[in-house]
Amino acid sequence: MQGCADYKIPQVLRQLGILEYSKDLAMLIDERKELEHDSEMEIEIRANMLYATELIKNRLHQNQVNMNSVQIDNALWLLSKNKELKNKPHHLTKTIYY
């Protein structure tokens, strides 16, 4: 499994309906509350982002589209620049790793 830990990818996946947060987590993010680095919620966001990227890759391969996880990650990151996808905020975590 490859991909980059990034705050923008989960934002795009959430906006597209690929990632769905629990009511409590969605409320924290929507209210722009900081998630502690390496907290259970922050780790789950990163892990599920990677898992979702792998599911997308597998679905693309089933449809004869050969993209690796890094290419999908890059495409999602570029999609994050689309102004129409910024309706939902991204999670906030103070870290040097994003």
75 with 4: CB under 8 angstroms? no
Q: Residues 6 or more apart from 80 whose CB is under 8 A from it?
A: 8, 9, 11, 12, 86
Which entry of 6, 24, 30, 38 is annotated as an active-site residue?
6
Q: Is 6 a catalytic residue?
A: yes
Side-chain half-sphere CA neighbours of 39 within 13 A: 12
Write out the catalytic residue numbers.
6
